[in-house]
């Protein structure tokens, strides 16, 4: 009939669940009672250390365990704005990275061997560490506080975050880990960490024993990543493309081990989340002990073949340690893992931003 408006269908755009209008770091949302409880638990962990599956059980006020780090201070190699992270973490101003010395793994191929396996750096109390967080925020104007290889210093990290909260820290905290954490450690971090950035290195136990020098790595990584995801969920961003909350899993594809990478991405999709953000990394290169002469070879006059140096001749190859991974990863191996991830219905991948900006 005349005068009756024609029916109009309106299409409304709803923001995806991973887009945030604003973000308040989780450590500002816990009560003073919970903060006091976490401080007490942190000191208890240091008196009988169970921060990782090695379960040293030592009183770190008196002696050290596998990680060689005591109780009252942490050893830090570098603190600075870092531009080598994923675009959603480094942004324009960098990620406020704190590289801790020491590690509870002994990866023979460690890509940060000079930091993680060497006692280099300077000692800081949790309070001094918190003051460095503030310098990164106020002077560096970084987008987050990125704690790199912190598995063995979780109690000190907890104390530092709680102190920085009182000083006025307002940046998201990233826990950048190998995933060789105990559940007790992950529970202690609940409410203090905004972003978990775990590696999932290898799949087979034989591989972890040989290359990581650790038993039950895979089962531990599974347990840890599930616990992390239960706390913060899938990765979320503000409209500027900066990550604020969630889990991103990294997998460094290694030469000849792409089968293990395919199992890892399949497990993530089937057991954690198909919306999991994943970074399939291709920058593996022989480092640390890989490519060094076998023990005793130097006495026999064999020329040392350094990673990236002159290709070893056929008669010297058998004398090189970890010969099977003594080469850069092939891009076909990386593509194989990516294909398996897509087949498992994972779809949120980190890739180099060709437009030079952010890449969600």
> Which residues line the annotated binding site for [4Fe-4S] cluster?
103, 107, 110
Q: What six digits make up the tokens of 302?
A: 């064999």
Tokens 């750096």 belong to residue: 121
Q: List C-alpha distances in Å: 36 to 30, 60, 162.
A: 10, 21, 9
Eight-state DSSP code of residue 240:
T
Best CA proximity match to 273, nearest among 295, 291, 292, 247: 247
Answer positive or negative: Cα dihedral of 323, 278, 102, 206. Answer: negative
Angle at 281 between CA 279 and CA 284, to 5 degrees: 160
Tell me if 162 sits within 8 A of 183, measured CB to CB: no
Q: List C-alpha distances in Å: 19 to 16, 26, 119, 213.
A: 6, 17, 41, 40
SS3 (DSSP) at 19:
strand
Task: Find all residues with CB under 8 Å of 284, minimum gap 6, and list them.
Answer: 109, 111, 252, 253, 254, 255, 328, 329
Q: How far apart are CA 96 and CA 106, in angstroms?
A: 25
Task: Find all residues with CB under 8 Å of 49, minimum gap 6, and list them.
Answer: 56, 57, 58, 59, 60, 65
Please state the residue numbers annotated as binding site. 103, 107, 110
Strand pairing report for 74-82 and 122-124? antiparallel
Q: List C-alpha distances in Å: 8 to 5, 11, 266.
A: 9, 10, 45
């Amino acid at each position: 009939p005349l005068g009756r408006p024609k029916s109009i269908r309106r299409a409304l755009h709803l923001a995806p669940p991973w887009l945030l209008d604003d973000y308040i770091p989780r450590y500002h949302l816990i009560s003073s009672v919970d903060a006091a409880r976490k401080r007490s638990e942190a000191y208890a962990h240091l008196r009988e250390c169970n921060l990782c599956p090695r379960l040293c059980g030592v009183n770190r006020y008196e002696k050290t365990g596998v990680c060689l780090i005591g109780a009252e201070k942490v050893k830090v190699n570098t603190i600075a704005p870092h531009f080598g992270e994923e675009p959603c973490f480094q942004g324009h101003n960098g990620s406020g990275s704190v590289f801790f010395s020491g590690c509870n793994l002994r990866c023979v191929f460690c890509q940060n061997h000079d930091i993680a396996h060497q006692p280099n750096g300077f000692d800081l109390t949790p309070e001094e560490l918190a003051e460095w967080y503030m310098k990164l925020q106020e002077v560096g104007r970084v987008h987050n506080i990125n704690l790199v290889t912190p598995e063995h210093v979780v109690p000190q990290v907890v104390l530092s975050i709680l102190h920085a909260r009182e000083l006025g820290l307002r940046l998201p905290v990233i826990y950048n880990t190998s995933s060789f954490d105990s559940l007790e450690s992950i529970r202690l971090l609940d409410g203090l960490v905004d972003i978990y950035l775990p590696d999932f290195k290898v799949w087979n136990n034989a591989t972890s024993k040989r290359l990581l020098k650790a038993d039950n790595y895979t089962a531990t990584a599974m347990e840890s990543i599930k616990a992390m995801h239960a706390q913060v969920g899938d990765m979320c961003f503000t409209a500027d493309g900066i990550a604020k909350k969630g889990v991103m899993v990294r997998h460094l594809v290694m030469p000849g081990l792409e089968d293990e990478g395919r199992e890892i991405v399949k497990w993530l999709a089937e057991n954690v989340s198909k919306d999991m953000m994943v970074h399939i990394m291709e920058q593996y290169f022989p480092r640390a002990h890989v490519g060094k002469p076998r023990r005793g070879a130097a006495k026999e006059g064999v020329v040392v073949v350094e990673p990236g140096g002159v290709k070893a001749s056929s008669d010297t190859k058998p004398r090189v340690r970890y010969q099977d991974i003594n080469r850069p990863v092939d891009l076909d191996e990386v593509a194989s893992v990516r294909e398996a991830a897509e087949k498992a219905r994972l779809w949120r991948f980190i890739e180099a931003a060709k437009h030079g900006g952010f890449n969600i």
